[in-house]
Amino acid sequence: MKTMRPRLRRANPVCEACKHGFEVTYKKPQELRRYLNRAGRIMPRRLSRMCAKHQRRLNQEIKRARTMAMLPYQLEESVPIGGERQGRGGRRFSR
């Protein structure tokens, strides 16, 4: 006989835009920068904790701000550790 384990439920993420009623717009790049990671990439929904509707709007507004040069496309220079490129499995290229 199988024993039933209780299911663990995650707390429902509440969208900040829905909760506080702020509008996502390209005119406020300092607020949009909160949703970029250190490399300058747009954070996924599970990390930004936005609903699908506002995540789509966020992506659109970040891309619009980048086009208008209000946000950079890349924040930091990403250089691999050791300065060399690595192949699959951590093997270094022989060239």
Q: Is the pLDDT of residue 70 over 70?
A: yes
Model confidence at 27, pLDDT cuts 50, 70, 90, reads very high
Mean pLDDT check: name the lowest of 1-5, 30-34, 41-45, 91-95: 91-95
Buried b (16+ CB within 10 A) or exposed e, 73-92: eeeeeeeeeeeeeeeeeeee
Q: Which domains, and CATH codes, for the chain?
A: 16-67 (4.10.640.10)
Percent of the chain at pLDDT exceeding 70: 75
pTM above 0.75, yes or no: no
The yes-or-no verdict on residue 58 having pLDDT over 90 is: yes
